[in-house]
């Protein structure tokens, strides 16, 4: 399935259920890319010109400018500074 990646990370998913990739509480700056194969946690902030691909970013995280995240699991309350 298209969400087998998230299931392998322990993210719950039921067949037929919708999954919120970027919750309304998250702040994603302009010129930032979040791939269809990624999920962002509640209250997470991602700054300009960053990208998240094939990854899961936890809740209450701050991701700085020009950061590239791929094939990663970022736990809750993590801060990654500007590149």
pLDDT of residue 76: 95
Q: Which residues make beta-bridge pairs with 34?
A: 52
Distance CA 51, CA 70 (A): 8
Could you list the mean pLDDT of each consecutive 10-residue stretch along the chain, which spans 83 residues?
46 56 93 93 96 95 97 96 94
Q: Name the nearest CA neighbour of 81 among 58, 63, 68.
A: 63
pLDDT of residue 49: 97
pLDDT of residue 21: 87
User: Residues near 17 by Cβ (< 8 Å), separated by ≥ 6?
Assistant: none
Six-digit token string for 24: 């309304």
User: Residues near 26 by Cβ (< 8 Å), separated by ≥ 6?
Assistant: 40, 41, 42, 43, 44, 45, 46
């Amino acid at each position: 399935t298209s969400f087998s990646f998230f299931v392998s990370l322990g993210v719950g998913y039921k067949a037929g259920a919708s999954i919120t990739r970027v919750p309304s509480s998250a702040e994603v700056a302009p010129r930032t890319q979040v791939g269809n194969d990624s999920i962002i946690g509640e209250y997470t902030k991602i700054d300009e010109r960053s990208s998240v691909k094939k990854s899961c970013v936890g809740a209450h995280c701050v991701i700085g400018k020009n950061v590239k995240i791929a094939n990663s699991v970022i736990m809750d309350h993590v801060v990654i500074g500007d590149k």
